[in-house]
Amino acid sequence: MLRTARKPGDASYVFKAEPAQVVVKECAGGAWKARTEAVTTWSAGGKSGIAFGGARYEVKSLPASAPACKGNSPCMRLATVPDGKTDATRTIYLAH
């Protein structure tokens, strides 16, 4: 199970291997609202990763020295594959 660091404006993602799913908690109306999404794998154009909530993410393992990891190891980054220039890349950092 991996969980992201929590701060105002962030969402919390709790991944489970079996069954492959993620519980996404987002702040809405002053309260945390949770939803569960199924996690699938994808592969296209020589790239691969996981997909959930209608978005495809590339997965990269980052060194603990990376600023975003704050010394945590293992540390992983999920980055969305943008669909067009104006589609901002969403990045999720995961750490134990």
Partner 1 sequence: MEETPPKKTTDYSKAVAPLLTVLGISVGAWQFTSQMSHESKMEFSRSMYTKKLQAYEQVGKAVGDLLVVPHDEQLWISAGDTLAFDSCLERFRTCYWGVLPLVEDSAVETAMIQFKDMARFYRRGENDYHDLAREGMSLMNACNKSLENH
Neighbours of 76 (CB within 10 A): 17
Binding region for partner 1 (CB under 8 A) out of 7-15, 25-33, 36-44, 81-89? 81-89
φ/ψ bin of 70: left (φ > 0), alpha (ψ from -120 to 50), beta (otherwise): left
By DSSP bridging, strand 21-28 and strand 12-16 are antiparallel
Cα–Cα distance, 68 to 60 (Å, whole number): 13
Cβ proximity to partner 1, 41 vs 89, nearer residue: 89
Query: Contacts with partner 1 in 28-67 (CB under 8 A)?
Result: 60, 62, 65-67
Size of the site for partner 1 (CB under 8 A): 12
Residues that bind partner 1 (CB under 8 A): 60, 62, 65-68, 77, 79, 82, 84-85, 89
